[in-house]
Structure 1
């Protein structure tokens, strides 16, 4: 059964999804809008979105359907979304650690995942912000949209339906921890390329080597050698 609910406007689909959950089903349940006024990003960041230009989508996945550790399910979700966008755009969709999606060197999508008990059942709440039709990123030089990165004007409604169907079909498919890590490292943005990183107050050249099974990013730094980092401990400046 397709449990996908449209909201004409909301502050955040991630806040609204809880109102639509029904515990009489194990189906994935989702809400979406093309006018989100206060979107949430990972680690307290915000997700900017203009009216009728972008998609804000949140889906609730019952925890009992997922057999992966939490952080690996985060990576698996990013892989599924990257696969969908690669098929849709016929472009390479990379994963910028930990879970942003990049097409042609620009971030087009971000993911927020929280685990929460609602009405007595544990859920993964997955929020996806996808830039679709906006073209003005003068204040966000690392961002882009499907339009700016592919030249294609996708229909927001049909895109949403296709995305939801793809997530419902693929998010809960059995997958091994090994295959999640292998696919993540295959899609890892800027892997094996010289990049500039910000660590604390300093900048340094380095090369991304891998993400390990505990979620750490390993970088070979020009001055400090091979080091591992967790979220927010290092910033990729390209």
Structure 2
């Protein structure tokens, strides 16, 4: 079993994982906390987390132990997380391109993967934020938690233990590229539905068609036709 360490409080489980790698004995492990004060999100965004309501979890692993291609790792992680969450209730769990998990139109989880060279060894640090018990989202109306979206009150420590076991079993598996992209597109949030998008400050309707093998999002736009986008080039307004 991959070791997992609990922290009473930390600024960021991502940063703590780096410290463990620099000064500890383990090369593959996870750390988690229920009190993260300066969480990181994708592309420099922050991740807000209420104390003792949500889970901040990071999994550190040497890059050579991961068998899926590096460009696919973010999406493969999203698939593992989606499958875990789907087992918790009867509500559908969808993947919002590129790295959010959605239940009933609300974001309940996000993923951040960083690659670090530590002591001349490349590592992946896979960070996951999961809203579990938080109920007040007045300042982030697109967010929700497992409690608000499923009505089920989960115990935090038990949730971490269950997820860590589930994740540790799957992250080292070899998933062929076509399998990853088929699963992503099967559970893609608002696929084949009319949505409003913003591109360089201009809004227009469009329909998500698919995510391709390079991780780009293809959208059929009302005014501009079929185009592909990298993250931050397009925003879905929902």
TM-score (norm 1): 0.96
Q: CA deviation at 1:172?
A: 1.0
Question: Which deviations, in whole Å up to 9, do the C-alpha atoms of 1:155-176 show, x marking residues without a partner?
Answer: 0000000111111001111110
- State the match for 2:194 in structure 1: 194
Which 10-residue stretch deviates more, 192-201 or 116-125?
A: 116-125
Q: CA deviation at 1:61?
A: 2.1
Q: CA deviation at 1:23?
A: 8.4
- Whether the 8 Å contact between 1:23 and 1:121 is mirrored in structure 2 is no
Question: Which deviations, in whole Å up to 9, do the C-alpha atoms of 1:22-47 show, x marking residues without a partner?
Answer: 88766x30000000000000001000
User: In structure 1, what is the Cα distance between the partners aligned to 2:17 and 2:174?
Assistant: 25
Equivalences, count: 237
- State the match for 1:67 in structure 2: 67
State whether structure 2 residue 116 is matched by structure 1 residue 116.
Answer: yes
- State the match for 1:160 in structure 2: 160
User: In structure 2, what is the Cα distance between the partners aligned to 1:166 and 1:119?
Assistant: 29
State whether structure 2 residue 82 is matched by structure 1 residue 82.
Answer: yes
- State the match for 1:8 in structure 2: 8
User: In structure 2, what is the Cα distance between the partners aligned to 1:170 and 1:80?
Assistant: 7
Q: CA deviation at 1:70?
A: 1.4
- Whether the 8 Å contact between 1:12 and 1:37 is mirrored in structure 2 is yes
State whether structure 2 residue 16 is matched by structure 1 residue 40.
Answer: no
User: In structure 2, what is the Cα distance between the partners aligned to 1:160 and 1:184?
Assistant: 24
Q: CA deviation at 1:141?
A: 1.2
Taking only aligned residues, the RMSD between alpha carbons, in angstroms, comes to 1.4
SS at match of 1:89: coil
- State the match for 2:180 in structure 1: 180
- Whether the 8 Å contact between 1:40 and 1:47 is mirrored in structure 2 is yes
Equivalent runs, 1:12-31 vs 2, <5 Å: 12-21=12-21, 28-31=28-31
User: In structure 2, what is the Cα distance between the partners aligned to 1:214 and 1:23?
Assistant: 35
C-alpha change, 1:100 and 1:157, in structure 2 (3 Å) is same
TM-score (norm 2): 0.96
User: In structure 1, what is the Cα distance between the partners aligned to 2:80 and 2:119?
Assistant: 28
SS at match of 2:30: strand
- Whether the 8 Å contact between 1:54 and 1:130 is mirrored in structure 2 is yes
State whether structure 2 residue 183 is matched by structure 1 residue 171.
Answer: no
Q: CA deviation at 1:122?
A: 1.4
- State the match for 1:228 in structure 2: 228
- Whether the 8 Å contact between 1:23 and 1:119 is mirrored in structure 2 is no
Q: CA deviation at 1:93?
A: 1.1
Unmatched segments (≥5 aa) in structure 2: none
State whether structure 2 residue 146 is matched by structure 1 residue 146.
Answer: yes
